[in-house]
Amino acid sequence: MDLKSIIDTRRRGDPDVFLFVTVLLLVGIGIAMSYSASAIHAARIYQDSFYFLKRQIVWFVLGLGALLVFQEVDYRRYARYTKILLLVSFVLLILVFVPVIGKSAKGSARWLSLGFLQIQPSEIVKLCLVLYLVKVFSSERTGVANHVAQLLVPAAIVALAFVLLMLQPDFGTAIDILLIAALILFVSGFPILYIAAVGIVSVPMFYLLIYEVSYRKNRLLSYFDPWADRFGKGYHVVQSFIAFKKGGFLGTGLGYGTQKISRLPEPHTDFIFAVIAEETGILGTLLIIALFCTVFWRGLIISLGAPDEYGRLLAVGLTLYIVVQAFINIGVVSGALPTTGLPLPFISYGGSSLVCNMSAAGILLNISRYRAGAYEGVQLTEEVWQ
């Protein structure tokens, strides 16, 4: 009889210091850069240059509290409540369409208004989807029929999340959850044939969603040649390129960038990486990339050291949850990917994103505390066996 199925044989130690310090560095840089990127806009609109900074600090305090709490909660507990968490997150995602509490901006219904705070349910859905998919795909699979059955329900749930996000519309987050789901499926050891089949079946849908929708089609065309319409379809990317050029190697200095003033779109959120490029130069952007690579590295190390399959896959899933979005954002701002709206984790202004990412880091830190322990020779009492 497997003793591990009866008692907890794991050894508990200290959390991963490298990951903890890296996350705090990213958040610290984010607070400084979100203030730099938003101060002029805040002074102009709200007559308070600290408007966004004060709110981001409040979210940081909440996020730090969440990180410290999740760091102490045994990660295996989440496996019991994944369906409940997923249901609650879907309810929140639907509530954004309710006029009384749902808040729209620039044609998108993405926020819930809670008085002086607003939350973005799509961020919560992403995290809950990771927890759910990890629970499903960390289970043992035997036989073709079992593979198909295990894929259908999660695929339907991801598809439902995708549809709800597209109705907002939030194409960037919708694509993000598809990428994360596919990667979790791949690293779980699911047969590549099934993953490829799902991808092939999805091609017509993506054609309709991208090429048959004018503004998405224009974004894709401007990706190939943004200079062809530099004051129209390619304006955002071209302004980002200019920010990189102005920044050079060392940057213009913190707070001295000019592209954030009525040129870059959403300079304190989606395009904050361009502000970093202008004010801290290529050196600053390389530091950000290195920090996210460190998160990826530590996440893989934590995964390899996890004492069980659920912990291993959860560590990978949470790591992908953070770094996939980070490198999509960096790719968009640098012109390597077509334009889509996704914040830069830990750095962009936005409370829901910051709290959810810090919560994910807290769960990762908890996984890092556990290692497989020796259990040979342990004597079980009659009460335990019963």
Q: What is the pLDDT of residues 148-188, one digit of tens each?
A: 667 788 888 999 999 899 888 888 898 899 999 999 988 98
Residues 236-257 pLDDT 10s: 888 999 999 999 999 999 989 8
Taking alpha carbons only, the member of 22, 150, 75, 129 closest to residue 312 is 75
Share of residues in the chain with pLDDT > 90 (%):
50
The whole-model pTM stands at 0.89
For residue 141, name the pLDDT band (cuts at 50, 70, 90).
low
pLDDT at 142 over 70: no
Average pLDDT over residues 253-266: 87
Residues 292-305 pLDDT 10s: 999 999 999 999 99
For residue 13, name the pLDDT band (cuts at 50, 70, 90).
confident
Residues 304-352 pLDDT 10s: 999 889 999 999 999 999 999 999 999 999 988 888 878 999 999 988 9
For the record, the structure tokens of 188 come out as: 């779980």
Mean of the per-residue pLDDT values for the chain?
A: 85
Average pLDDT over residues 213-219: 72
What pLDDT was estimated at residue 2?
A: 46
pLDDT at 282 over 90: yes
- Cα torsion through 66, 86, 130, 203, rounded to 10: -140
Going by C-beta distance under 8 Å and a sequence separation of 6 or more, which residues neighbour residue 230? Answer: 238
Average pLDDT over residues 36-50: 90
- Cα torsion through 81, 82, 87, 93, rounded to 10: 130
DSSP 8-state class, residue 349: S
